[in-house]
Amino acid sequence: MSPRNNKPPAVVAELGRPETPEETAARKAENSANHRNRQTINNLVYSLLATLALVAVIVLIVPRGNPSATKPAVDYPSIAQQAQGSEPDALLVPKLPADWKSNNAELRTKTSDGVDSWYIGFVTPKQQFIGVTQGFKANDSWVSDQVNKSRIKDTRDIDGVTWDVYDNRTSSSDDGNVEYALTTTSGDSTIIVFGTADDAEFRTMASSLADQIHSLGGDK
């Protein structure tokens, strides 16, 4: 019969002696807990990566673009026709090329400033904004509010209509959509053309209104 193998327990370096059974059990329990924690962290990382990948896929497949380009254009001539006769002057209806799109049109009445107005907003072919506001029996205070209290910089003649020019393009202040504005009066109407477009697009808009402005009673 071979002698029994009574190999002594291994000495643990940190302890300088063999582990007791209780220490061995505690060490194994701690190792198991550490392993579970690592698995939990790994699962969280994998879940996060999967979520980010899903978001990336959604971003890639969802169509994007200019909302104003996909939104149906507002039929402002029809809206104007329905409201005609309710104000002292005829409502202006710009006749513009097909690549000009209206995104809003409304007759504003019972306003806090006491001035009724006909408003049309446009997205220009260059994806800029131009608004047209026709105020009825307006006063100087109303005009000042419409142009953000900016000052007249010049006058400009477009197709026989003389416009006051408000040019805030180089201003350091925030003028919102009134980077540039043209104002004129005719009949009982004060007409304001304002927005962020360039001179050429403003001229196109002003030209489209010229005949109708003359018919209101002549420019100022």
Instruction: Tell me the whole-structure pTM to 2 decimals.
Output: 0.68
pLDDT at position 12: 57
pLDDT at position 197: 96
pLDDT at position 220: 44
Torsion angle in degrees (nearest 10) through CA of 179, 185, 188, 194: -10
Q: Which residues contact 96 (CB under 8 A, 6 or more apart)?
A: 122, 204, 205, 208
Residues of the chain with pLDDT > 70: what percent? Answer: 83
Phi, psi angle pair for 105, to nearest 5°:
-160, 130
Q: Which two tokens stand for residue 197?
A: 């477009």
- Report pLDDT digits (tens) over 172-192: 666 678 999 999 999 999 999
Q: How many residues are listed for the chain in this entry?
A: 220
The C-alpha atoms of residue 131 and residue 94 are separated, in whole angstroms, by: 11
Please state the rounded mean pLDDT for residues 31-52. 78
